[in-house]
């Protein structure tokens, strides 16, 4: 019997309530010519590919900046990041955090959800309000602090 990577990653570790997940947060600059249609194609591809890889997360696009939160099995997320760094649609890929820990998924039902830059703060606050895992609470609070300090490439800032 074969088990999909998602099933494996979502099995709690012995003695823990949550699975071991690898989480990467990064920003990148969109290449010239990336518009809403190009971003829609990225989301469409992600929604086809990510479920089989056990990857969930969100993508924010605004002001020519991508901001993405990815979570899933380490090997699969690492391979996706390697692909993104070679993707000509992304320039200046800047990892903001990479952590492997036992925790609940922040976005368990989002194979890949597109969030506008205007809504990123609301999404992060909502995730923080619903988080139960102390590691998630810490990560979300840190991202909100960075967002409010303008450290995430202008995301969430008034235009």
Indicate the helix (H) or strand (E) that contains 8: helix 5-9
Structure tokens at 74: 């380490």
Contacts of 8 (CB under 8 A, 6+ apart): 54, 73
Mind listing the pLDDT tens digit for each residue in 72-96?
999 999 999 999 999 999 988 888 8
- Tell me the domain boundaries of the chain: 5-116
Instruction: Give the C-alpha separation, 60 to 108, whole Å.
Output: 17
Average pLDDT, the chain: 80
Structure tokens at 16: 């823990």
Burial per residue of 9-26, b for 16 or more beta-carbon CB atoms within 10 angstroms, e otherwise: bbeeeeeeebbbbbbbbb
Instruction: Tell me which of 11 and 4 has the higher pLDDT.
Output: 11
- The answer to whether 25 touches 80, Cβ cutoff 8 Å, is no
Mind listing the pLDDT tens digit for each residue in 117-158?
778 788 778 878 877 778 778 877 877 887 788 766 555 554
Given a cut of 60, is residue 1 above it in pLDDT?
no
pLDDT at position 153 is 58
pLDDT at position 96 is 80
Instruction: Give the C-alpha separation, 66 to 86, whole Å.
Output: 15
Domain 5-116 has CATH 3.30.70.100: yes
Facing residues of 24 across strands? 70, 98
Percentage of the chain beyond pLDDT 70 is 83
Given a cut of 80, is residue 50 above it in pLDDT?
yes
């Amino acid at each position: 019997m074969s088990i999909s990577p998602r099933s494996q990653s979502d099995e709690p570790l012995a003695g823990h309530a949550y699975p071991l997940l690898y989480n990467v947060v990064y920003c990148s600059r969109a290449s010239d010519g990336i518009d809403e249609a190009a971003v829609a194609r990225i989301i469409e591809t992600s929604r086809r590919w990510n479920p089989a890889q056990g990857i969930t997360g969100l993508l924010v696009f605004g002001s020519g900046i991508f901001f993405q939160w990815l979570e899933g099995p380490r090997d699969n997320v690492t391979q996706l990041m390697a692909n993104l760094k070679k993707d000509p649609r992304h320039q200046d890929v800047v990892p903001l955090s990479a952590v492997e820990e036992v925790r609940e998924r922040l976005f368990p039902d989002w194979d890949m959800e597109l969030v506008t830059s205007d809504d990123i703060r609301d999404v992060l606050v909502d995730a923080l309000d619903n988080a139960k895992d102390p590691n998630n609470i810490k990560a979300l609070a840190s991202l909100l602090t960075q967002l409010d300090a303008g450290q995430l490439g202008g995301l969430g800032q008034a235009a």
